[in-house]
């Protein structure tokens, strides 16, 4: 990897992941941040978590504010869903309101992006797939229709990235459909014997493990998660540069905070409120 130049006293990069109680998942996220540090040795890069693991977003931001440090907060997430739209954004708002003069910026989630497609292609190749292998891109699933639709967009982009050919279907580990089993069954019925399920997750954990189990039970193979891939580390730095430069361009036209969705809880115009992290509760 080639180090990227950074000038002056740059804001801290605070990468916020969902968090997991699965130790290898935390180790993978730490390894990803270490790759970011190799690319930008002068940059201070740290992790915070929405849940399960400490520090919380609010805890980390309060610590930096007390030290007089500027911060660029980045959702270490693949899609814009409730965590990036509500939990992390709400935590940033609360700390900014409580700490006048605190220089804190907020970036956008990682995907979709050509660098992620490159990392996905490497994971697919490592699993022994060829152009005739049908794929299922399996994500967590969300209550947010906008977030679920983003997975279909990524799947289509990945199909184009691969040069067409065998299909790239979508599945979700929960919250919505189709399930992994349903997506694999559809491909089998369409005549695709070789099916590879590709977990669209940054790190191992409960949901990626469930995706792999469901894939095997349905008669498919499973690839590895994206993990600490060089392309993902470069994308983290690209999102950081956007946030520091002030040119964060989000496609929010179908966000549930902007557009009403029939049959769902209406959140249009609501103030984003963060998920309660156990560390914040204990801190009072």
Contacts of 160 (CB under 8 A, 6+ apart): none
- pTM (2 d.p.): 0.85
Contacts of 27 (CB under 8 A, 6+ apart): none
pLDDT of amino acid 84: 74
| Tally of domains within the chain | 2
The CA distance from 166 to 190, in Å, is: 11
Q: What CATH number does the domain containing 47 carry?
A: 3.40.50.1400
Copy the structure tokens of residue 134: 């049908």
Domain assignment present for residue 172? The answer is yes
User: Do 78 and 145 reside in the same domain of the chain?
Assistant: no
Q: Rounded to 5 degrees, what are φ and ψ at 42?
A: -85, -5
User: Do 73 and 168 reside in the same domain of the chain?
Assistant: no
pLDDT of amino acid 248: 66
Rounded to 5°, the CA angle 238-90-54 comes to 75
User: Do 105 and 128 reside in the same domain of the chain?
Assistant: no
Q: Rounded to 5 degrees, what are φ and ψ at 106?
A: -130, 125
Q: Could you tell me the residue range of the domain that residue 89 belongs to?
A: 12-110+229-255+271-283
Q: Could you count the other beta carbons within 10 Å of the beta carbon of residue 66?
A: 10
Copy the structure tokens of residue 2: 């080639």
SS3 of 32-62: the string is: HHHHHHHHCCCCCEEEEECCCCCCEHHHHHH
User: Do 184 and 250 reside in the same domain of the chain?
Assistant: no
Domain assignment present for residue 3? The answer is no
SS3 of 143-168: the string is: CCHHHHHHHHHHHHHHHHHCCCCCCE
Residues of the chain with pLDDT below 70 are 1-8, 248-265, 267, 269, 272-275, 281-284
pLDDT of amino acid 80: 82
Q: Helices in 218-261 by DSSP H: which ranges?
A: 230-245
Q: Is the dihedral of CA 255, 258, 259, 264 positive or negative?
A: positive
Rg of the chain on CA atoms, in Å: 19
Which tens digits make up the pLDDT trace of 22-62? 999 999 999 999 999 999 999 999 999 998 889 999 999 99
pLDDT of amino acid 268: 75
- What is the rounded end-to-end Cα distance, in angstroms, of the chain? 43
pLDDT of amino acid 5: 42
Which residue bears the tokens 């801190």?
283
Domain assignment present for residue 84? The answer is yes
User: Do 46 and 90 reside in the same domain of the chain?
Assistant: yes
| 196, 221 contact by CB (below 8 A) | yes
Nearest to 268 by CA among 276, 281, 259, 277: 259
Residue 172, H or E segment: strand 168-172
């Amino acid at each position: 990897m080639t180090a990227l130049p950074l000038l002056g006293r740059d804001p801290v990069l605070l990468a916020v992941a969902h968090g997991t109680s699965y130790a290898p998942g935390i180790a993978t996220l730490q390894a990803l941040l270490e790759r970011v540090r190799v690319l930008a040795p002068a940059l201070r890069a740290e992790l915070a978590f929405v849940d399960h693991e400490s520090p919380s977003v609010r805890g980390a931001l309060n610590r930096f504010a007390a030290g007089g440090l500027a911060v660029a907060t980045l959702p270490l997430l693949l899609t814009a869903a409730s965590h990036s739209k509500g939990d992390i954004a709400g935590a940033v708002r609360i700390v900014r309101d409580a700490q006048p003069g605190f220089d804190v910026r907020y970036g956008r989630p990682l995907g979709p992006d050509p660098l992620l497609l490159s990392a996905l292609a490497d994971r697919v190749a490592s699993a022994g797939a060829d152009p005739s292998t049908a794929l299922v891109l399996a994500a967590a699933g969300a209550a947010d229709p906008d977030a679920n639709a983003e997975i279909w967009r990524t799947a289509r982009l990945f199909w184009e990235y691969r040069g067409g050919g065998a299909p790239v279907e979508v599945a979700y580990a929960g919250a919505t459909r189709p399930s992994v089993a349903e997506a694999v069954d559809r491909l089998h019925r369409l005549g695709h014997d070789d099916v590879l399920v590709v977990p669209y997750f940054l790190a191992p954990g409960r949901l990626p493990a469930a995706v792999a189990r469901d894939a095997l039970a349905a008669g498919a193979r499973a690839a590895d998660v994206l993990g600490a891939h060089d392309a993902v580390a470069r994308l983290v730095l690209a999102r950081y540069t956007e946030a520091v430069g002030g040119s964060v361009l989000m496609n929010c036209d179908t966000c549930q905070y902007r557009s009403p969705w029939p049959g769902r809880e209406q959140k249009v115009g609501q103030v984003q409120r963060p998920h309660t992290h156990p560390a914040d509760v204990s801190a009072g």
